[in-house]
């Protein structure tokens, strides 16, 4: 399914329907009829989970085209986009559940004190802009171990994050430490690779403005037991990402996780945030895979 399929001359079809005698009997203006029918179409998703998509998985699709397709699918957010792209999202009425633009990359994170000054400056510069844009969270990383044991790495992360927590608290922004696997992807040696480590970090920082980005794909690889882990630690998690295991591709019947059950478990915790689709489509029609992923998770 292409972006053109998503657009499918919806306005033209609605104009024809709006002329029907039934709608005329309601005494509505043509404009109101069109808006009412468009609102009905937009509500085709159940709405229990807020849908988001990670930009990098569709890097070969122009951002404006991805925005248009997202609106048609029912996605409300595009993640991992920097400040220069935020106006494009706003143009289409989209938010960014997890913006990008601070830090030194995944490998150079808060577990190394040598990077703290640069990291602190970077986040202190960006956090007010994130708040001004109306966004609520920003991603951060532990960095690679490089021989550092987990306890010392956690202590170093806590020291660095505490330096920017006052700015985050002032602007109402949550710092999200992403959990990644350190086994089978390009993130080998990454330190924040278990949920319990991330929870201990949150406790060490001691602020409601530090939470975890629980990547379902990554944590299935590292520790499994996804639903039980979410139920146990949900109060420390403020965002979720999807991905098929193995391979990080479509989240359909080709992989080992059953996402409808996982999303139901997330909702049962009282979660009201976004779910970010972060799988890399294998099919040539990438937007069709994205639409399918949203529908699978729309429980």
Question: pLDDT, tens digit, for every residue of 117-126?
Answer: 999 999 999 9
- Cβ pair 228, 269 in contact under 8 A: no
Is residue 203 scored above 50 in pLDDT?
Answer: yes
Instruction: Show the tokens assigned to 293.
Output: 């992923």
Report the pLDDT value the prediction gives residue 138, as an integer from 0 to 100.
98
Q: How does DSSP assign 54-93, residue by residue?
A: EGGGGTTS-HHHHHHHHHHHT--EEES--GGGHHHHHHTT
Is residue 29 scored above 60 in pLDDT?
Answer: no
Is residue 35 scored above 70 in pLDDT?
Answer: no
Q: What is the pTM of this model?
A: 0.85
Is residue 30 scored above 70 in pLDDT?
Answer: no
Kindly report which listed range (59-68, 178-187, 225-234) carries the lowest average pLDDT score: 178-187
Integer CA distances (angstroms), 191 to 122, 143, 207, in order? 21, 6, 21
Residues of the chain above pLDDT 90, percent: 84
Report the pLDDT value the prediction gives residue 120, as an integer from 0 to 100.
98
What residues pair up with 239 in beta bridges, in sequence order?
213
Report the pLDDT value the prediction gives residue 43, as an integer from 0 to 100.
53
Is residue 26 scored above 50 in pLDDT?
Answer: no
In b/e form, how buried is each residue of 115-150, taking b as 16+ CB within 10 angstroms?
A: bbeebbebbeebbebbbebebbbbbbbbbbbeebeb
Report the pLDDT value the prediction gives residue 44, as an integer from 0 to 100.
84
Report the pLDDT value the prediction gives residue 168, as an integer from 0 to 100.
98
pLDDT, tens only, 228-249:
999 999 999 999 999 999 999 9
Report the pLDDT value the prediction gives residue 185, as an integer from 0 to 100.
76
Kindly report which listed range (26-30, 46-50, 82-86, 211-215) carries the lowest average pLDDT score: 26-30
Instruction: Show the tokens assigned to 206.
Output: 């001691």
Integer CA distances (angstroms), 288 to 6, 45, 270, 298, in order? 9, 16, 30, 15
SS3 263: helix
Q: Which domains does the chain have, with CATH numbers?
A: 1-44 (no CATH), 48-297 (3.20.20.150)
Mean pLDDT of 145-164: 98
Question: Please, what is the average pLDDT of the chain?
Answer: 89
Who wins on pLDDT, 2 or 176?
176
């Amino acid at each position: 399914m292409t972006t053109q399929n998503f657009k499918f001359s919806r306005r033209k079809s609605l104009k024809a329907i709006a002329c029907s005698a039934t709608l005329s009997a309601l005494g509505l203006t043509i404009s109101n009829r069109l808006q009412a029918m468009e609102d009905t179409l937009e509500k085709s998703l159940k709405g229990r989970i807020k849908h988001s998509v990670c930009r990098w998985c569709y890097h070969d699709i122009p951002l404006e085209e991805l925005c248009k397709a997202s609106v048609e699918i029912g996605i409300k957010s595009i993640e991992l986009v920097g400040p220069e792209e935020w106006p494009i999202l706003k143009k289409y009425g989209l938010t960014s559940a997890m913006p990008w633009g601070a830090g030194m990359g995944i490998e150079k994170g808060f577990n190394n004190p040598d990077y703290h000054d640069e990291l602190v400056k970077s986040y202190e510069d960006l956090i007010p802009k994130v708040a001004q844009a109306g966004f609520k969270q920003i991603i951060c990383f532990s960095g690679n171990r490089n021989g550092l044991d987990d306890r010392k790495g956690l202590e170093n992360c806590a020291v660095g994050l505490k330096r920017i927590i006052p700015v985050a608290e002032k602007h109402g922004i949550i710092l999200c430490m992403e959990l990644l696997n350190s086994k089978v992807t390009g993130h080998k040696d990454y330190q924040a690779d278990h949920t319990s480590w991330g929870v201990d970090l949150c406790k060490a920082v001691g602020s409601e403005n530090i939470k975890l980005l629980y990547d379902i794909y990554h944590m299935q690889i590292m520790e499994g037991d996804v639903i039980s882990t979410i139920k146990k630690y949900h109060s420390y998690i403020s965002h979720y990402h999807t991905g098929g295991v193995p391979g990080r591709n479509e989240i359909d019947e080709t992989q080992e996780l059953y996402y409808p059950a996982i999303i139901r478990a997330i909702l049962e915790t009282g979660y009201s945030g976004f779910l970010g689709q972060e799988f890399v489509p294998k099919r040539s029609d990438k937007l069709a895979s994205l639409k399918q992923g949203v529908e699978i998770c729309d429980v």
